[in-house]
Amino acid sequence: MNYRHAFHAGNFADVFKHLVLLSLLQRFRTKEKPFSYVETHAGRGLYDLQGAPARRTEEARAGILKLVPEADWPNEFRDYLELVKDMPGNAEELRWYPGSPLIAQAMLREQDRALLVELHPEEAGELKRILGHDARFSVHCRDGWEALKGLLPPSPRRGLLLVDPPFEKPDEFSDIFAGLDQVQQRWANATVVVWYPIKRRADLEQVYRRLSGGAYGEVLRAEFCLHPDDTDTRLNGAGVFVLRPPWMLDQDIQRWLPELGPALTGQQAFRSRVDWLSAQV
């Protein structure tokens, strides 16, 4: 695996993904009943926006750093910014950007639990160090897809699984659907959210058709594109599909998603949408 998220941390796709994750975790917190948070590709947890990788790409300048100036943002943006600014080392300026494990750490309650999986030993070791002695969290250095067989179902059974692979392979969706089939067998009541890049829309049509077939129950789709989705030479947008989403999640995302394009670029996004690929009849 050659992918290192440090080159892309805090970019527009991260902002979109983490706003969706925050909306999901807020929904899970509306009930006192404990839940589990599971992640298959966790990364290192915290990223230095002034480090050499981030400086090389400067992708955060078109992402999280666009939201830092004070503005009349929606409540969801303010919640997200407050969480990011609360990271250690961000008192003077926004330097450290949290990955999804630290967003989960900020949102999980005492009764909740988390299982984080990261294949790369250096990244997994750093994640363990950053999480410290948080007894709610368990970090496993192993392949995320293989881990689904050994770690599911978690305890508590109520929970959320985040699948956020690097998409280094052209057949990444084959692994994703194999993983989803494992989840269907071992943790059938889980809410599952899968992040994916958008380059050419045509490349995703087969994925949409499979998710629309009803085999995975309710499937919510949310997408955010800053550029026309007609070339594979750049990241034009990002999407998530959510299996068995919590009640009202679609309305939560619809409330803030139209504001994200103007917040990042000063104009409407090329496309943003929230719809159902498969809905409960």
Please write the tens of the pLDDT for every residue from 24-54. 999 999 999 999 999 999 999 999 999 999 8
Model pLDDT, residue 3: 58
Tell me the two tokens of residue 57.
């790409």
- State mean pLDDT over 11-17: 96
Q: Any catalytic annotation for residue 164?
A: yes
Report pLDDT digits (tens) over 63-109. 999 998 877 888 999 999 999 999 999 988 999 999 999 999 999 99
Counts for the chain of helices (H) and strands (E), in that order = 10, 10
Domain ranges, ordered by start, for the chain = 5-278
**Predicted confidence band of residue 2 (pLDDT cuts 50, 70, 90):** low
Model pLDDT, residue 169: 83
List 164, 229, 250, 252, catalytic entry: 164
Query: Is it the case that residue 280 has pLDDT exceeding 80?
Result: no
The rounded distance, in Å, linking the Cα atoms of 47 and 95 is 8
The rounded distance, in Å, linking the Cα atoms of 147 and 84 is 29
- State mean pLDDT over 160-165: 96
Model pLDDT, residue 4: 66
Q: Which residue has the higher pLDDT, 3 or 47?
A: 47
The rounded distance, in Å, linking the Cα atoms of 160 and 132 is 22
The CATH architecture annotation of domain 5-278 reads 3-Layer(aba) Sandwich (3.40)
User: Which residues lie across from 115 on neighbouring strands?
Assistant: 38, 138
Report pLDDT digits (tens) over 227-253. 999 988 899 999 999 999 999 999 999
Strands (E), the chain: 36-39, 46-48, 96-98, 113-117, 137-140, 159-163, 191-198, 219-225, 237-243, 271-278
Output the average pLDDT for the chain.
94
**Predicted confidence band of residue 5 (pLDDT cuts 50, 70, 90):** confident
Model pLDDT, residue 70: 75
Q: Strand 36-39 to strand 159-163: parallel, antiparallel, or no bridges (unpaired)?
A: parallel
